[in-house]
Amino acid sequence: MQQAPGSMGPNLLLLLAASSYLISPSLSGSFQIDYNNDCFRKDGKKFRYISGSIHYSRVPRYYWKDRLLKMYMAGLNAIQTYVPWNYHETIPGKYDFTGDRDLESFLKLCNEIGLLVILRAGPYICAEWDMGGLPAWLLQKKSIVLRSSDPDYLRFVHKWMDVLLPKIKPFLYQNNGPIIAVQVENEYGSYFACDYDYLRYLLKLFRYHLGDEVVLFTTDGAGKGYLKCGSLQGLYATVDFGPGGNTSKSFEAQRYAEPHGPMVNSEFYTGWLDHWGKKHSVIKKEVIAKSLDEILALEANVNMYMFEGGTSFGYWNGANSPYWPQPTSYDFDAPLSEAGDPTDKYFSVRQVIGKHKTLPAGPVLPATPKYAYGLIQVKKLQSVTDSVNVLSFSGPVESVYPLTFVEMKQYFGYMLYRNTLPMNCTEGTPLASPQNGVHDRAYVMVDGVFQGIMERNKVNTINITGQTGSRLDILLENMGRINYGGGIHDFKGLVTNLTLASNILTNWTIYSLNIDKAVASGNLNKLQRKTSEALPEVNASVPAFYLGTFKIPNGIPDLPQDTYLKFPGWTKGQVWINGFNLGRYWPARGPQVTLYVPAHILSTSAVNNITVLELENAPCGIELNAVCAVEFVDSPILNGTTAYTNFHSRAFNKQSWHE
C-alpha cells in the first residue's frame, strides 16, 4: 500500500473530523424550491449553493478526498458531478461500480466532508466525454435516434436507470445523503430532436425511482432558443453562461422558462476546453472574479464548471464537430489544476466567495509535490502489424466490405484492417476514402513499409506503392467520439469503402485489437528484440511498441510523487504505465505536451514499466545519437505550439461550437 493522499499532514484529518459536525446526524432533511421567495429552502431555511464541478471519472479515486477538501476550503458548499453511462456499462448489461467507478463511495466522501451534491445523471451528459457519455454499443442499431423517444434507445435508457437511480436514492438529501438536486438530460435544447415526449419519459422514470420530493432540473444555454426545447413542466429550468457578459441579462433568460424560483447558473465557465491543433484556452482570473462576484451579489446559485477538470485517461476524451478531438488533459484552466493544485484563480475565487459568506477556518491545502524522475530509455519491441497474434484475442473476421468498430463489437482504441493489393502499384497509386469515411486516423503500410496517414476531414487520399499480392495494413485509430450535436451518432473505423485507383477494395481481414489487455498481461514485453540485433527491424515510422523500465529512487522521502511525462522527439501515440492507460500524447500537434501521471500508479517496490505505442515517428531510428527516451518532468506544459498555427484563434465561445 502506498501513502494515503493524506500526505498533506494531520491538518487534513482534523478537518475531516471537524467537518462531520456540519452534518446533522439523523434528522432527515428537506430541500425544496421556494417559488414565492425565489430561492431554495434547505431544512426550511433559505439556502443558496456555491458549487464547483468535479468529475469523479476524471480524478483517480486515490485523489478524490484531496480534491474535495480543497473545494471545501475554497468556500464551496456543494459540488456537481456527471454520471457517464458508458463508463459504468461498457458492455450491455455488465455494470461496473468498483474502484475509480465507485460512485457510491464518492457520494459518501462528499457527505463526510460536508459538501452537498448536484448530480447530473444523464443519460446524456456531453462533458467532452466520449459520445457525451452514451455507450457506443447503442449504435448497434445503425438507424437509432439517440436522445429521442426512439423505443430502442428508451429500452436501454430504462434498463440503465433501473440500475443507476436506485443506487443514488439512499444518497438524496431527504434520506440523509448529500444529493440536493438531480439533473435530467443535459442542454437538451441545443439538440436537433426537440422531443418533449423523451423529456416526459425521463421525468416519469426519475420520479418513479427517486420519489416526488427531490428537485429535478434541466440545464440549457441562457437564451430562449435553448430553453424552448430544453425545458419541461415539472423539471426546474436552469441556465449556463460564462463570465464577461451581462449577468442580469443572462438570468433574465432563465425567467423566460421559470418566472419564479431561484436563479441558477449550472455552468459558470471558469476556463474552457482544448482541441488538438488549437490554441490552449486560458481565461483570466480577473474576468472570472468579476462575474462570479456579480452572480453572488444577485443571491443567485452558481456552479463553477470546472472547479477541478482532471484528466480524460485512456480513450475517454470526446470531440466536437466538424471533427475536432479533445486532448487527454481536461485541465480547463480551472481554479484547481489538472493535478489538483490551487492556482492563482483558486485564491481569487476563494476571495470573492469570502465577500459573500464566511470561509471555513483552517489553512488551504498545499499543492501535492511533483518529482522529475528524468529521462527513461526505452527499447523498441515490435511493430503493431507484427504483433497481431498477441494483440488480437479473437481470430480475425473476414468481410467483403470493411466493418465498423461497432460491427466488430470493439468500441475503443485501435483496429487493424488487412488486405492484399489486387494490382501492381509501381507508380504511386491513390488509396482513397471518397466519402470521408476514415474515422478517425489511418496509418497505412504495404509489406511493413510506411505509406502515409489518412485523417478524417483532412486527408482522404494518399499514394501507395507495392506489388500485386503485397500486404496492405491499415491501423485505424478511434480518436474519441463526438460528444455534442447530431454528430454523436459517430461510427468508428472504416465506415465507408476505400478505393485503390478508383476501384473499391474488397475481401478484408479485420483484427479486433485489445492492446490494453495485452499490455496488462505483460505479453507485450516478451516481444523484446534479441540483443544481438543492433538496428531496428522495422522502419521507425510505422506504428510500434516501445518499452522502458525505471525504479523510484531510494533515500528520498515521500516518493512516489506525481509527475508529468514528456515525449521529446516523439510524434503521436498512446502510453501505459504499469498497465494504466494514461491517454494519448501528440506533441507534434499540441497544445498538450506533457501527460499527467498520478503517483498512485507508480510502484516503489517493483520495477515500473512504461509501454509506448508510437503511431508515427519515434526518435529511435538509426540516426547517430538519437535519444530513444521519454522524460518525467515536474511541471506540465499544456500550451505548446500547435501544428495549426494558421488557425484563426478567435475567442472560442460556447455558441461557436453549438452549431
Active site residues: 187, 267
Residue of the chain from 450, 491, 570, 632 that contacts ligand NAG (CB under 6 A): 450
Nearer to ligand NAG, 20 or 506 (CB): 506
Strand-by-strand arrangement of the 31-34 sheet: 31-34, 39-42, 45-47
Q: Kindly report the three-state secondary structure assignment for every residue of 553-591.
A: CCCCCCCCCEEEEECCCCCCEEEEECCEEEEEECCCCCC
Stretch that binds ligand NAG, among 95-103, 263-271, 553-561, 601-609 (CB under 6 A): 601-609
Binding flag, residue 401, ligand NAG (CB under 6 A): yes
**Cell numbers linked to 270:** 471558469
Binding flag, residue 604, ligand NAG (CB under 6 A): no
CB of 278 to ligand NAG, least distance (A): 13
Residue of the chain from 11, 90, 348, 496 that contacts ligand NAG (CB under 6 A): 496
Binding flag, residue 503, ligand NAG (CB under 6 A): no
Site string for ligand NAG, 535-574 (x = CB under 6 A): ----xxx---------------------------------
CB of 622 to ligand NAG, least distance (A): 5
Cβ contact 436:460 at 8 Å: yes
Residues in the chain: 659
Residue of the chain from 252, 293, 407, 631 that contacts ligand NAG (CB under 6 A): 252
Nearer to ligand NAG, 132 or 548 (CB): 548
Binding flag, residue 507, ligand NAG (CB under 6 A): yes
Binding flag, residue 621, ligand NAG (CB under 6 A): yes
Using alpha carbons, select from 389, 335, 386 the residue that is nearest to residue 364: 335
CB atoms within 10 A of CB 589: 20
Please give the Cα distance from 59 to 566 (Å, whole number). 20
Please give the Cα distance from 468 to 435 (Å, whole number). 25
Binding flag, residue 31, ligand NAG (CB under 6 A): no
Binding flag, residue 248, ligand NAG (CB under 6 A): yes
CB atoms within 10 A of CB 143: 8
Nearer to ligand NAG, 244 or 362 (CB): 244
Q: Which residues contact 322 (CB under 8 A, 6 or more apart)?
A: 457
Binding flag, residue 399, ligand NAG (CB under 6 A): no
Using alpha carbons, select from 509, 600, 588 the residue that is nearest to residue 562: 600
**Binding to ligand NAG (CB under 6 A): which residues in 185-244?**
none
Residue of the chain from 211, 322, 354, 522 that contacts ligand NAG (CB under 6 A): 522
| Preceding peptide of 440 cis, ω within 30° | yes
**Cell numbers linked to 176:** 440523509
Nearer to ligand NAG, 47 or 570 (CB): 570
Binding flag, residue 176, ligand NAG (CB under 6 A): no
Please give the Cα distance from 333 to 326 (Å, whole number). 14
Please give the Cα distance from 96 to 91 (Å, whole number). 10
Residue of the chain from 176, 399, 497, 571 that contacts ligand NAG (CB under 6 A): 497
Residue of the chain from 461, 528, 645, 653 that contacts ligand NAG (CB under 6 A): 461
Please give the Cα distance from 580 to 343 (Å, whole number). 27
Label residue 261 left, alpha or beta by phi (over 0 means left) and psi (-120 to 50 means alpha).
left
Please give the Cα distance from 517 to 182 (Å, whole number). 36
Binding flag, residue 462, ligand NAG (CB under 6 A): yes
# of chain residues touching ligand NAG (CB under 6 A): 35
Please give the Cα distance from 569 to 631 (Å, whole number). 11
Q: How, if at all, do strands 425-432 and 499-500 pair? A: antiparallel
CB of 274 to ligand NAG, least distance (A): 13
Nearer to ligand NAG, 179 or 464 (CB): 464
Binding flag, residue 465, ligand NAG (CB under 6 A): no
Binding flag, residue 578, ligand NAG (CB under 6 A): yes
Binding interface with ligand NAG (CB under 6 A) = 246, 248-249, 252, 401, 422, 424, 428, 430, 449-450, 461-463, 467-468, 496-497, 504, 506-507, 522, 525, 539-541, 578, 603, 606-609, 621-622, 639
